[in-house]
Amino acid sequence: MAFAQTSASSLSASRILVTGGAGFIGSHLCDRLIEDGQEVLCVDNYYTGRRQNIAHLAGQPGFETLRHDVTLPLYVEIDQIYNLACPASPVHYQFDPVQTLKTSVHGAINMLGLAKRTGARIFQASTSEVYGDPTVHPQPETYWGNVNPLGTRACYDEGKRAAETLFFDYRRQHRVAIKVARIFNTYGPRMHPNDGRVVSNFIVQALQNEPITIYGDGSQTRSFCYVTDLVDAIVRLMATPDDITGPINLGNPAEFTIRQLAEMVIALTGSRSKLEFRQLPPDDPRQRRPDIALARSLLGWQPKVALADGLIETIGYFRECLGVPKIRVAV
């Protein structure tokens, strides 16, 4: 399978491969690329990605889909690769930790090999989890992290760290044009209702008036970036000159405690839910906030969507998914 041949690649008419393209972030990236007039091949094995995330793109000029697992080689002709394939929530990546690690490592090797053969520019969706439970706050790209390599989260944390190593070694050894972004907590429509992430958990529980489960005392912090802001940053990074490789932090530096998030979700949904505290899981980071000075200076980017505004959009999506009627809420 291959895209139609063109005489030369350009940012205005590129043949673009998006792995994990039916996932939460991947589907929004496909939207953006199609809107920009690109030819997009969306590749997904549908382990966590969902067909309904990209159903609206069916029949769009320049959009194709292919069911494929990135742990296996892929032979297509492309100009750019966005490598987003990997389960990203603890519920999903801990279900089959060996496969998670294979997806990060073997997937990176296969996509980098494809980039090497075709001369494509390649983007790697890395993660703030490479910082582990950080001892530096906020986290700059120069921080090497504090990761437990033997814990239950290591299949994802260390898999992404190994993928970053592979990307930079392919650049040094084979001159592959790479872009690496460390993505912090992202939320928005098309999140999986059962992915176990804090935003989707709280919204689903609130809409059903169930107890809001907070692990620990709720004082741990996170920074939440709305998905369209993130996609804009990813596209900007891919368009930078080859000497800008990253890693670059992409996320919203506004920091909230988990308890603050829970209370905001309850208020915005008009829920009758109460807070319920449970034991904190092992290696759960106590604080997480990106230093985005590099993104500001190199990409001219910073998030625009405030948390409350993004939550309203996300709540609307989950209301539709769950069939919960809309109620009037004072904001």
Q: Which amino acid, one-letter code, is at 15?
A: R
Residue 167's alpha-carbon distances to 147, 161, 177, in angstroms, are 20, 10, 9
Tokens 């004072």 found at: 330
DSSP designation for 325 = P
Tokens of 212: 């809001």
Q: Is 156 a catalytic residue?
A: yes
DSSP 66: E
Distance between alpha carbon 250 and the CA centroid of its chain, in Å? 10
Among residues 82, 93, 131, 156, which one is catalytic?
Answer: 156
Amino acid in position 183: I
91-96, long-range: CB within 8 Å, 24+ apart, which pairs? 91/194, 91/195, 91/196, 92/47, 92/48, 92/192, 92/195, 92/196, 93/155, 93/156, 94/152, 94/153, 94/155, 94/156
- CB within 8 Å of 34: residues ≥ 6 apart: 40, 57, 60, 62, 63
Number of Cβ atoms within 10 Å of the Cβ of 171: 17
Q: At what angle do helices 227-238 and 24-35 cross, to 10 degrees?
A: 60
Active site amino acids = 156
